[in-house]
Amino acid sequence: MTIKFGTSGWRGIIADDFTTYNAKCVAQAISDYVVEQGQSKEGLIVGYDPRFMGESFARDIAGVLSANNINVLFSVEAVPTPAIAFAIISGKSAGAINLTASHNPYNYNGIKYSPKWGGPALPETTKWIEEHANEIVDSGKFKEITEDEAKSKGLWTDIDLKADYIKDLNEKIDFDTIKKWGKKVAYDPIFATGIGYLDKILIDNGTDVVMIHDKFDPYFGGGGPDPSGEKLVELAKIVEGDNDIALGLATDGDADRFGVLDFDGRFIEPNYIIALLLDYLIRVKGFEGGVARSVATTHLVDAVAKYHGVKCYETPVGFKYIGEYIAEGKIVGGGEESAGFSIKGHVPEKDGILASLLLLEMVARENKSIVEQLRDLYSRVGTFMTSRVNLKLTKDLDNAFPEKMKLNPKGFAGIAIKDKITIDGTKFILDDGSWILFRKSGTEPVVRIYVEASSEVKLKKIIDSGKEFILGA
- Which residues are at the interface with Co ion (CB under 5 A)? 102, 252, 254, 256-257
Counting residues that bind ligand VG1 (by CB under 6 A) gives: 18
Instruction: Considering the complex, state which of residue 271 and residue 338 has its C-beta at the smaller distance from ligand VG1.
Output: 338
Least Å distance, CB 254 to Co ion, is 4
The CA-CA-CA angle for residues 213, 47, 73, to 5°, reads 140
Binding status of residue 387 toward ligand VG1 by CB under 6 A:
no
Residue 356 engages ligand VG1 in binding (rule: CB under 6 A): no
CB of 256 to Co ion, least distance (A): 4
Sheet containing strand 44-48, strands side by side: 5-6, 9-13, 108-114, 96-99, 44-48, 72-75, 156-159
Say how far apart CA 86 and CA 349 lie, in whole Å: 9
What is the CB neighbour count within 10 angstroms for residue 230?
Answer: 8
Q: Smaller CB distance to ligand VG1: residue 134 or 338?
A: 338
Cβ neighbours for 422, distance < 8 A, ≥ 6 positions apart: none
Residues 316-355 that bind ligand VG1 (CB under 6 A): 317-319, 336, 338, 340
Laid out side by side, the sheet with 340-343 consists of: 312-315, 290-294, 331-336, 340-343
Q: Which of 170, 174, 250, 168 is nearest to 209 (CA)?
A: 250
Nearest residue to 192 (alpha-carbon basis) of 260, 107, 250, 266: 250
Residue 42 or 269 having the CB closest to ligand VG1: 269
Residue 7 contact among ligand VG1, Co ion, none, beta carbon within 5 to 8 Å by kind? ligand VG1
Pick between residue 252 and residue 279 the one whose CB is nearest to Co ion.
252
Residue 340 touches which of ligand VG1, Co ion, none (CB < 5 to 8 A by kind)? ligand VG1
For residues 231 and 361, what is the distance between their CA atoms, to the nearest angstrom?
24
Residue 327 phi/psi, 5-degree rounding, is -60, -35
CB nearer ligand VG1, residue 232 or residue 317: 317
| 234-273 positions binding ligand VG1, by CB under 6 A | 252, 256-257
Cβ closer to ligand VG1: 42 or 336?
336
Nearer to ligand VG1, 213 or 448 (CB): 448
* Min dist. Cβ of residue 319 to ligand VG1 (A): 5
Q: What amino acid occupies position 272?
A: Y
What does R_g of the chain's alpha carbons equal in angstroms? 22
Which residues from 3-22 bind ligand VG1, rule CB under 6 A?
Answer: 7-8
The binder of ligand VG1 chosen from 19, 205, 383, 441 (CB under 6 A): 441
State the residue number with the nearest CB to ligand VG1.
102
Q: Which of 443, 452, 459, 462 binds ligand VG1 (CB under 6 A)?
A: 443
Query: What's the CA gap between 343 and 351, in Å, rounded?
Result: 9
Which residue type is seen at 242? Answer: D
| Residues near ligand VG1 (CB under 6 A) | 7-8, 102-103, 252, 256-257, 317-319, 336, 338, 340, 441-444, 448
